[in-house]
Each structure stands twice: as C-alpha cells, then as structure tokens.
Structure 1
Amino acid sequence: MKLNIDCASCGAEDELHSGGRCWTCALADTVDRLLTNPSSGSIPSELAPLAAALKSMKRANSGLTWIRQKHVTEFLQRLAHTPAVTHQALDQLPSSRTREYVRGLLVEHGVIPRRDELRARYNHWAEEAIERVTDPGNRETVRRYIRWHHQRRMNQMAEVSQGTFQRSKQTVTVAIDFLNWLTDRGAGLAELEQTHLDAWQAEGPTTREIADRFLKWAIKSNAAPPGLKMAPHRRGTSPRLSASAQEAAVQQVVHTDQLPARDRAAAILVVVFGQQIEDVAALSWDDVTVTEELVTIRLGSIEIALPDPLDGPWRRLASDPGHGLTAAHPNSKWVFRGVSPGRHINPSHLRERLRTVFSARAARLGTLHELTKLAPVPLIAETLGYSPATIERHATDSAAAYAQYVAAARRQRWS
C-alpha cells in the first residue's frame, strides 16, 4: 500500500523515495550531482537544457532507475567534464548505446544541432571496413568506391534512409569479400578474368551476386577490364502473401486486439495499401488527419480516407502515441515513435513486431499483386506513392499469373 506524505524538499504530497523526499526531488538531486563539473562547481550552461529535461520526466522513478545504472552514471559524469559538447566531442567518447541515446536527448533539447545519424554511422563504419581489405592496392580501390559511389550518393540525399544505409553496407561488404578472395588466389582486379567471376559465384551463396554492383563501377572506373559480366543479383523472386492469407491477416489486424493499436495501424498500411515498411516507419502526423468524422492519410500525392473499421487503430494511436513518459520525445512529429530520442521507430524493429501476423515484404508484394488486377497502373502508382515502373512489373506478373489460371481452367474444362 502506498503512503502519500508531504515531501520535505518540495512540499508536494507524493510517494516518498528516501530521506523524506519524493522521487522527483531525488531524481533532480541525482541529475544535478552527475552533470556538475567539479572544476566550476556547477552544471555547464550548455547542459542546462538536458538537466531540465531529465528532471521533468513524468515517471521519475523510472528515470532514476535508468540514470543510476553504472554505465549511464559514468557517461553523464564524463559528459560533464567535456570542454565543449559537440557531435565531434561525443564521437570521441566510447561508443555505446548510452552515448547515442544521450546524443539524441541533446539534439531534442537544443544542446547540439540535428545531424544525419545514418550518414555519420556509415562514414564511421566505412573507415573500419576498409581496414578489412588485405591488399593495399585494393584498399585504395575500395576507399574510392565508397567515396565516389556510396558517400557521394548519400550526400545528395536530404536524409539517408535505412534501406540505403543497409544496402550500401552490404554492397561494400561483398565487394571486400570478393577482392580478398581474388587476393587469396594471387589475382588482382586489373587482371580479372571471366573465369574468376564464374568461380566466385559458383563457390558461394547467391549473395555473391551483389558483387555485380561493384564490378560495374570498377569497369566504368577503369579499375577492371571491360567486357566482364556477372549474373546480376536476382530480384522479383521474393515470396508474396496469397489472397487468402491476406484476407486472414486483415481480419486479425482489423477485427481483433491481439496486437497493440500502434502495430495494428502500421499493419493496415502494409497489408491493405501495400506500403513499404521504411515509409510506414517514417510517417509523421503532418501526413495524418484525425477528426471526429474521418481519418485520412497521405500516401504518395493523394490523401486516402480510412473507412470504419480501418480507422479504429489510428484513432487509438492518435489519442495515445506512446513514449510520452520520458524526455526522449518532447515534441515528436513521428506517428511511430522510436526508443531513440526524437527518432521514429527503426524499420527493422517494426518489421519484427509485425512478423507475428505476416512477413511485411510478402504482405506488401501480395497486396500490390492483387491491386494491379483491380485498377490501372498509373492510378495505383500515384495513389500509393510508387513509380509507374514498379507497379508495371507487378501488373506484368499479375497478368502472367492470371493467364496461367485461365489456361489451367480451360484445360480442366476440356479434359
């Protein structure tokens, strides 16, 4: 049974923590102690917004539990000793989840400017990846490949997407493996022959096909002989959810409460509207309108109204978007808030959350496959935010499947 008594420090009637003080005052004292620079005897002015945010957490007991963990305590004390709080200064501190979480808090509360974290993470990863190349000459080739192909493309983006980040890492990783494979066989990129490429693909998994992306760049850059070819990485072979499985998924998502409202809302966009999980994760409340009469979501260039009962999970999510008890999301615009301060949910994490109902990729492909049977390609592309070429591929596959069905039906009829 909880006993409410006036706090000896602030006078509030609240559950006490220790020494006659409430949890909020205990949290405030801990924050002040950890963020105080011993040299000056005070909290650095640039850390004052962070201190205020941590003290104002709605659930003070959870905040105190988090901040008293040894790794968090040590990091905040180290931060208080930092001469100037910048991204560069944080990068010099030991890499950890705590560092990145606190970095996010510093950004959200105006201490340091926002930066593209995926671009920064990729740059750091690339520096370490280059060291895995065994041949010095190949190491320089990979460095140029990263700089002039991947980083250059990223620098042209307003913000690097999770998909671009993952694909760039995978492509470079396979390129490094390929070059090290050549080195082990005493071959150099300049002396590359078709037999090398054939052997590389024959001896390993299908992911080796991804080296085709590097090969094209190497030939174009005169780093490899012209005329060589590698079987390209195959696309369009992923499984898709059948129409009956889609119907079952919709029934579970829309008509049951087996999933939280947030997951149900995300699942509707995937299995009903064929949206990519990366786009769902990055949806903001600027794209969603919730009124008493209607819920609309902007997909592509058109706002789509969600009829009853599709609007139910969205109304519940709008009333309680979650992650409101910590200092991580003071003014978040994201529909699907993430654990990291100020950032939306990681697409991979959202994909895993939906896996209990369906594979997000299979569900999306199945939906697009079925939609192309019902409406013209340009209309689907504009409505759902896809390129016409992408929808055209699904329409072609759908038509082929339908033709096979008709042929089978005719054979059965005449047999």
Structure 2
Amino acid sequence: MLPGIIDGKPACRSCTGIKLNVDCVECGAEDELYAHGRCWRCVLGSTVDRLLTNPETGIINDELKPFATALKSMKRANSGLTWINQEHVMAFLTELARMPLVSHDVVDQLPRSRTREYVRELLVTHQILPARDGLLHRYIDWSNDALNRLNSAEHRDIANRYIRWHHLRQMHSMESVSHGTFLRSKQTVTVTIEFLNWLTDRDVSIGDLSQADLDAWQAEGPSTREFAIRFLAWAIKTKLVAADLAMTPHRRGTSAKMSVEDQRDVVDGLTSNQPSLNPRDRAAAILVLVFGQQIDRVVKLTWNDVIVSDELVTVTLGGIAIALPAPLDEPFRYLAGERDLANTAAHPATNWVFRGYLPGQHIDPSHLRNRLRSTFSTRAARLGTLHELTKLAPVAILADTLGYSPATIERHAVASAATYAQYVANL
C-alpha cells in the first residue's frame, strides 16, 4: 500500500510515517479493509464457512469442504463476496449445507433457478459432482413444462410419447447432446404443440387427421409451421395417422445469404479503430465472416486450437492451422492476454477461448448469436461466406481447412455454380 508521496512519487507507510491502518485484524495482511477491520478475503472466508455449515452438525459436510476451499480461494475476493451476498445465493447455499450427501438428484430437489444450475456446475468443476449432460437435463425440464401448454388431454399424452420415445430416445443414444440438437428439438416440439392445439380448436383428433387439415395448417400460418413435418413422420411411423399424409418440406438453398459487399463492410467495421463489438464478440464474428464457421463450433474452440505468439496467431478449424493476418489477429491477442485474469472459482485454469457464464462451460451459442445479431445475421453471413469460398478452391481443400464434411461443401459449391475449372482459372 502506498498512501503517501515523497518527491512527487507514491511511497509506503514506513517511508512517509503515515499511521493509516490498513492491516487486517484477522490475517494481518496489508490490504484494503472491508468491514470491522477485516480484509475482503477474510470476510469472504467467514461468510462461506457460515453459509456452508450444516446447522444440525455445526460443521461443513466433508463433501462440501473442497467447494468451500474453492470459493474462499477466488483471486478476486470482492467479486466472490458480491456474488455470495445476494439473497437468493445465500438461501440456496444454506439449503445445500443441510444435505448430508450431495448428488445431482439432491440438487434437483432444490428449487429450480439459474443459481441452482450455476452452483451445480461449480460443484462439477471442482469434482464434487460427476459431469453430466447439462443440455439433456435442460431439455427434460423444458419439455415437462411445455406439455402443460396443451389444451387436450389426448394430445398431451401423444406429445409426451413423442418427446419420450423420439427426442429423448435419440438424445440418450448420443455421447453428448449438441446445442443444435437441443434447439432443434425444442423448436420441433414447440411447433408440434401449436399444431396439436390448432387441431383441438378445430375439434379434430389425431386419428381423424386429413390431408385437408395439413394443407390448411400450412396455408394459414408462417413458414415455421413446416417443422410439424417431423412430428408427422413420427405419427405415421407409429401408425397414429394414415401413411399417405404429407406436408410440403423446406427447400434447401432458399435461406438468405449476406452479399460480398455487406461482408466487407462488416469486417471493416470489426477492424476499425473504434469497433462496435467487444474483443470476444469480434473474434467470434471474424470466424463466422471470414471462415464461414457455425456459432455452435466457434464456442467450442480452446486455446489448443488458437496459438498466439509474438510473430503469428493461428487458429485450427479443421485439419490445418490458419494464420490470421493483422488486424484480424488483434481480438485473439487481447483474449490471450486476459486469459490469466479469467481464472476464478468458476473457471479455474480455463481453456475455453469463449468462456461462459456457467462454471467450466463455454459461452452459450444462443447468447453469442444474439450478441452478434445487432451487427449481422450469423446464418446469412456464414452461408454468404461459404457461397463465395466455394468459387475459389476445390471442395476437398475447403472441407479439410474449415472442418466441414466434403458433402456439405459440395452442396455449397453446386449452389454457387463453382467448378474446379473456375478455381484453376483464378490461380
């Protein structure tokens, strides 16, 4: 602490003779004091101990001791104390402390909230709970609530079967549920519920569904109604409806694409002296606009994929490390520089390039997509980039470099009327 000035320069208490009391009465550290002569860290420690002490035993349960240690060792004690002093956080930790054993089932029994899921991920991060598929359980919670929106008991039972025996069956067969699968399943069930309620309003049961009903459903509403085709396929397979029923599917290649001019304007804005987005969002935007990356893949980048040195910044998207020239490398250099500052109880030694709100997790793709939406549509930008890139290089090279399957790049190449001869002509 340098509370004084000697010859115009900050000086310590010993040199200046200042008697300012900045010593913590508990630990003796020379530090900023928070309350009753104690520093932030000591107050944080006593608060954690108080909240995590089981009132029936008077001690912290053995399972929670590593959790308490992690909270008390946060680098920024003031931030930890600010979080833990919130009323809903204190209430949750107090309830958690009462539990003789800690498991995912026990945590599930506590009131559902963002705090519950945040603390759950903290417990996983510090190896108190085993890792589990968070998106799978989020979908289960969401679907249970969604079923309450159905107006007919008959249709509620059908929707429940559709969720359990189609969506959840597929999810349980996966190693982990991707964010794309999670969102697609939510969208499909949401449209299915709207469709079944529409049938209820028309006094039509699922067994009496006709082609005229399906045609009216699509004709009377927005294009998103076509997603009910997924439910229809399941209903046909399970013999709930006639096998000859059909809906008009979405046609590939009809989604909007960002023009080359618009892409250049956005990139220019990202690399200007006063960019409108923060470094994290600019880094993600560059990966979408320049390399045609999906947000779901961008958020999963780790510092093993991005290498920053004094001379060069490279990012590996597929099988090849791609060098980022200036000024495209600037946001990645910034993120690398603040990496150590990101190490907290929520993200100890984090390896995510785009760390998220939940402990140990990367940023939520929907959250990042929404942050970029004010500047550009990530889908339109990605499709526009791939449309242009397939005019400049053969399918195999692009697929390997950008981490796409050859079939996906081939579709974009066909859509852009690209041929290998055009590639050679551009050399």
> Under a length normalisation based on structure 1, what TM-score does the superposition of the two structures give?
0.91
The counterpart of 2:247, out of the listed 187, 206, 230, is 230
The counterpart of 1:195, out of the listed 212, 216, 220, is 212
Q: Give unmatched runs, 5+ long, in structure 1.
A: 401-415
TM-superposition CA deviations, 1:314-335 (whole Å, max 9, x none):
2221121376264110122211
CA shift for structure 1 position 277: 0.8
* Counterpart Cα distance in 1 of 2:150 and 2:340: 44
> Under a length normalisation based on structure 2, what TM-score does the superposition of the two structures give?
0.88
The counterpart of 2:35, out of the listed 18, 27, 44, is 18
Of the structure 1 ranges 211-220 and 385-394, higher mean CA displacement relative to structure 2 is found in 385-394
CA shift for structure 1 position 306: 2.1
Partner of 1:106: 123
Of the structure 1 ranges 3-12 and 33-42, higher mean CA displacement relative to structure 2 is found in 3-12
Of the structure 1 ranges 301-310 and 207-216, higher mean CA displacement relative to structure 2 is found in 301-310
Amino acid in structure 1 at the alignment position of 2:201: D
The counterpart of 2:235, out of the listed 218, 221, 231, is 218
* Counterpart Cα distance in 2 of 1:191 and 1:322: 62
CA shift for structure 1 position 203: 1.9
Amino acid in structure 2 at the alignment position of 1:135: S
Q: Is this contact kept in 2: 1:27–1:64, CA < 8 A?
A: yes
TM-superposition CA deviations, 1:12-50 (whole Å, max 9, x none):
000111211111101111111111111111111111111
Q: Are 1:383 and 2:387 an aligned pair?
A: no
Partner of 2:352: 334
> Which structure has the higher relative contact order (CA within 8 Å, separation 6+)?
1
The counterpart of 1:370, out of the listed 379, 382, 388, is 388
- Secondary structure of 2:316's partner? strand
Q: Is this contact kept in 1: 2:23–2:29, CA < 8 A?
A: yes
Q: Are 1:288 and 2:314 an aligned pair?
A: no
* Counterpart Cα distance in 2 of 1:186 and 1:352: 39
Amino acid in structure 1 at the alignment position of 2:303: W
* Counterpart Cα distance in 2 of 1:178 and 1:353: 31
Q: Are 1:349 and 2:349 an aligned pair?
A: no
How many residues are aligned here?
Answer: 400
- Secondary structure of 1:297's partner? strand
The counterpart of 2:285, out of the listed 267, 270, 274, is 267
Correspondence 1:156-195 to 2 at 5 A = 156-195=173-212
Amino acid in structure 2 at the alignment position of 1:7: C
Amino acid in structure 2 at the alignment position of 1:386: Y
Cα gap change, 1:352 to 1:124, in 2 (>3 Å): closer
The counterpart of 2:97, out of the listed 80, 96, 112, is 80
* Counterpart Cα distance in 2 of 1:384 and 1:54: 40
Amino acid in structure 1 at the alignment position of 2:235: A
* Counterpart Cα distance in 2 of 1:306 and 1:195: 55
Q: Are 1:28 and 2:45 an aligned pair?
A: yes
CA shift for structure 1 position 199: 1.1
TM-superposition CA deviations, 1:242-274 (whole Å, max 9, x none):
111111222222343523322222111111100
Q: Is this contact kept in 2: 1:321–1:337, CA < 8 A?
A: no
Q: Are 1:41 and 2:85 an aligned pair?
A: no
Amino acid in structure 1 at the alignment position of 2:112: S
- Secondary structure of 1:292's partner? coil
Of the structure 1 ranges 74-83 and 372-381, higher mean CA displacement relative to structure 2 is found in 372-381
